[in-house]
Amino acid sequence: MGVGAEVSAQSYTREERQRYREKVRQNLDVFERMLTQDQFEFERPMTGLEIELNLVNGDYDPHFANAEVLQAIADPGYQTELAQYNIELNVPPRPLPGDSALELEEDLRSSLNAADSKAREVGSRLVSIGILPTIMPEHYEGEWISDNNRYTALNDSIFVARGEDIYLDIHGPQGERVATYCNSIAPESACTSVQLHLQVTPGDFADHWNAAQALCPVQVALAANSPFFFGQRLHAETRIELFKQATDTRPIELKNQGVRPRVFFGERWITSIFDLFEENSRYFPALLAETTDEDPMARLEAGEAPDLAELRLHNGTVYRWNRPIYDIVKGRPHLRVENRVLPAGPTIADTLANAAFYYGAIRKLAGTERPVWTKMSFAACEENFHRGARDGIDSRLYWPGFGEVGADELVLRHLLPLAHEGLEEWGVSQAVRDRFLGIIEARCQAGVNGATWQTEAVRRFEEKGSDRRRALHQMLELYVEHMSTNEPVHTWSLP
């Protein structure tokens, strides 16, 4: 019953919530004991990824048909997501070394082409993009939520906790704004991402999480691909602010008291994975209070890995941008950092370039003698994150030794060489490094990512006489054409 696990109830009694809290505390105690006994699997570094996708119809509007699309695709790797116009592709973990990433690129392209071909049979297309630019408020007026009890329970629990409608208020740097009330968490479904997993040992977890936090503002700036929402040009990566607001369980009074949001950047560098799980149970009330009969201590003492189902379920409802994961595969427990900051798209080549940059840079940042987080305050890191999301590839970020520097310059002068070294240390082939880190280098030199391309394409369509809504549809049609070539976004032509 971990992240994304199904639940059986849609609401919970006071007694169920109390029992759930007690089970989370018990799970936490057992988890702490497991960490001191070093019970975890780690033979070689494994990486995995998840890609969330949008469905559009022939008019490039959202297509609320994921049940039919998944039935047509008939591949267990593709699963349901929050809204009926979303699906997710789960890519099985694989080791990093050698040419594995080039093989993965071919596998993903074949898989997505086959899935898209099946989706077309039921009138749908797959689109890999951070926020579907043609989504509008009226699309959420009908039946939008997927047929999955977990999503309905989550929606209901967030609104019970809030006690009122959600107010979205996002200002774009160019003066455009979305300000509207929502009576469901539907806008959260607009946020489609790529999630990167890295398996680590308990002793190395804190360094990798801290490194991932320091790096994620740069990831967002480089890969931004979500500039439009509800017809407005907002942040380069609007997904970050939208996700935070759309799942906010706090009415205004609790915000004013400084109560932490469910979409939580964090507030300090950590010394152990335990810090994160303990913060989750201390600060965040349960949204899904589903309990099991497991006695985790008895399981542990019998020499078996306990499921810690309640702790994992709770962890899945605290939306950290770098989330700690406890999981069990073939009876062996392991730990992962789940990096959740990247938007989907534009192409598989871009997605794997973003992944290569992350895996290479995190390896070096986590392993240095005087790591970057010992020289930068956590508040400065969080400020970087907001700037990266707002301004994208044009953002200016603070970095120790460089002061305030353009995100593109920071990557070219410092982080890209680190990523090359890191991938080499992982045993990744020269061909993989040249292909994918070459894309990152060219993207920085061109100053073009998904957000800048989308924005400029819409501007040009508007200049030619289209209104905003028409321009968004025209841009998305051209985007899908380019996306299917797998040529990286910095090479795409404009209208």
Q: How confident is the model at residue 7, as a pLDDT? A: 58
Strand partners, 200: 335
Residue 14 has pLDDT above 90, yes or no: no
Higher-confidence residue: 112 or 157? 112
Q: How confident is the model at residue 108, as a pLDDT? A: 96
Q: How confident is the model at residue 8, as a pLDDT? A: 57
Higher-confidence residue: 320 or 10? 320
Q: How confident is the model at residue 43, as a pLDDT? A: 66
Interhelix angle 430-446/202-223, rounded to 10 degrees, is: 40
If pLDDT is split at 50, 70 and 90, which confidence band does 149 have? confident
Cβ-proximal residues to 495 (8 Å cutoff; 6+ apart), any chain: 457, 460, 461, 464, 474, 475, 478
Residue 486 has pLDDT above 50, yes or no: yes
Residue 317 has pLDDT above 90, yes or no: no
Q: How confident is the model at residue 2, as a pLDDT? A: 38
Checking phi first, is residue 259 left (phi over 0); if not, alpha (psi -120 to 50) or beta? beta
SS3 state at 325:
strand
Question: Alpha carbon of 128 to those of 59, 77, 236, 343, 490: distances in Å?
Answer: 16, 16, 16, 9, 16
pLDDT above 70 covers a percentage of the chain that reads 97
Mean of per-residue pLDDT scores for the chain = 93
If pLDDT is split at 50, 70 and 90, which confidence band does 316 have? confident
Q: From the CA atom positions of the chain, what is the Rg in Å?
A: 22
If pLDDT is split at 50, 70 and 90, which confidence band does 416 have? very high
**Range from 66-75, 138-147, 330-339 that averages highest in pLDDT:** 66-75
What is the token pair recorded at 205?
């977890």
What is the token pair recorded at 135?
């989504």
What is the token pair recorded at 386?
């907001």
Higher-confidence residue: 238 or 145? 238
Cβ atoms of 221 and 395 within 8 Å: the answer is yes
Cβ-proximal residues to 20 (8 Å cutoff; 6+ apart), any chain: 12, 286, 289, 290, 291, 310
Residue 478 has pLDDT above 80, yes or no: yes
Q: Comparing 2-11, 109-118, 335-344, 395-404, which segment has the lowest mean pLDDT? A: 2-11
Q: How confident is the model at residue 30, as a pLDDT? A: 94
Residue 6 has pLDDT above 60, yes or no: no
Q: Comparing 30-39, 263-272, 346-355, which segment has the lowest mean pLDDT? A: 30-39
Q: How confident is the model at residue 1, as a pLDDT? A: 34
If pLDDT is split at 50, 70 and 90, which confidence band does 39 have? confident
